[in-house]
Amino acid sequence: MAADQWYDKNGVWTGSATILHDGKIVMLYTGSTTEGVQVQNLAYPADQYDPLLVHWVKYPRNPVLVPPPGIGPNDFRDPTTAWLTSEGKWRITIGSKINKTGIALVYDTTDFINYEMLDGLLHAVPGTGMWECVDFFPVSETENNGLETSINGPGVKHVVKASLDDDRHDYYAIGTYNDRNGTWIPDRPNIDVGIGLRYDYGIYYAAKTFYDQNKKRRVLWGWIGESDSEAADVKKGWASVQSIPRTILFDKKTGTHLLQWPVEEIDSLRLKGKEFNQVRIQAGSVVPLDIDSATQLDIIAEFKIDSDALEKATGSSDALFDCATSDGAAERGALGPFGLLVLADERLSEQTPVYFYMTKGSDGNLKTFFCNDQSRSSKASDVNKHIYGSLVPVLRGENLSIRILVDHSIIESFGQGGRTVITSRVYPTKAIYGAAKVFLFNNATELNVTASLKIWQMNSAFIQPYPNL
């Protein structure tokens, strides 16, 4: 869609499509007007039967929504996919803020042209600032499949997600939706939207989901930005990519988290695989893995911990550990770090560790962190070298598990079945193509670890022209 009308001359921004009762599709999107005011516009496919929906026609009387009283002209954007209310109306939510409180406005419509603004808000969280790319969708408490956006009732929770313009991260929370008044309440206010859980603890923003009605799954797409310099972006002629699409489910075991996992189609890119069974990693050691080329990989690994060592370990000051403020994979604690070094050269002058770090408090309770250390990912000086990560819930009887997708400059890591996810953008100068290696490592001081892995080299996804275009 081109920015060619007064109501979107300064930008065609985030929008969402809705499939109507008759199978037709409408799109609401944010436009920035010639005066820089954010408004909502309506568009239809030029050809409803075009499988790619390439061409769109804008409603001639756009905009259909303008900022309501009390909302700033630059604080009204990113309409969601609509869902049906119990009264048979369509309902959407739009991100905004009032002072420093992030909010989600709610509107009802029957024709996507005329709207009624509800008196209340879907939700609001003080101190979170502007909410962008708000998403709202149901998840099943009992089934392992996605739900169509309008589903509600017993056994259904609802997710509110917002991208915070202030810190450029995507946050979500799980709670209960009241269809009658259009409000949502988090199950746990201490991990509300913007102050609790994130989709991804790395470079990942402006994510949105859609419901795949053919495979009955909810699919999440996100934006992976660059972490090198603007000058480097200009030199290569492009910047930013889309993440691997992920399915998203309610984690029935924790009751607090979502589970994200690469869509099953990614498995079709696997080439030859190699298994490494029961590899013992002594404390303070690095173990090379015999892989031919390690720039496009799918890695699934499981780590078993010496239970005696966990029992003997005493509480220490690292109970206050945090991935971002630590010394990364170089920090040596009694129970971590241990994991994998990916995009590493033979001498380990470049490496990106993806790892677990366990701590034991004075009360004997264990905490497990899932981290990604970019501090030695590249010899280049103009790149981001942050350390990312967060706590990951590990339930009794569970081994520690990781899945890592490596694609040259992108590393997407899924801890404990996707409870905690980290996306990194790294720019190695030596660990490239045939020089890239994979290692297991254990930098703990009191813990031996046994790892079992399967590693596949991955084919490229060759995009073919669609027939008859």
pLDDT at 363: 81
pLDDT single digits (tens) 142-179: 999 999 999 999 999 999 999 999 999 999 999 999 99
**CATH assignment of 271-458?**
2.60.120.560
The upper half-sphere exposure of residue 283, i.e. CA atoms within 13 Å in the direction of its Cβ, equals 14
**CATH assignment of 11-198?**
2.115.10.20
pTM: 0.96
pLDDT at 6: 98
Average model confidence (pLDDT) for the chain?
95
Q: Which whole-number Å values give the CA distances from 134 to 32, 81, 164, 280, 308, in the listed order?
A: 18, 10, 9, 45, 46
pLDDT at 319: 63
Tell me the pLDDT band of 464, cut-offs 50, 70 and 90. Answer: confident
Parse the chain into domains and list their residue ranges. 11-198, 271-458
Q: Where does residue 220 rank: exposed (0-12), middle (13-18), buried (19+ CB within 10 A)? A: buried
- In 293-387, which residue ranges form alpha helices assigned H by DSSP? 307-312
**CB-CB contact of 281 with 451 (8 Å):** yes
Q: Which whole-number Å values give the CA distances from 242 to 208, 221, 410, in the listed order?
A: 11, 7, 11
Check if 11-198 and 271-458 are the same fold: no
For residue 20, pLDDT over 60 is answered with yes
pLDDT single digits (tens) 298-336: 999 999 998 887 887 765 556 678 999 999 999 999 899
pLDDT single digits (tens) 236-264: 898 999 999 999 999 999 999 999 999 99
pLDDT at 365: 86
pLDDT single digits (tens) 271-294: 999 999 999 999 999 999 999 889
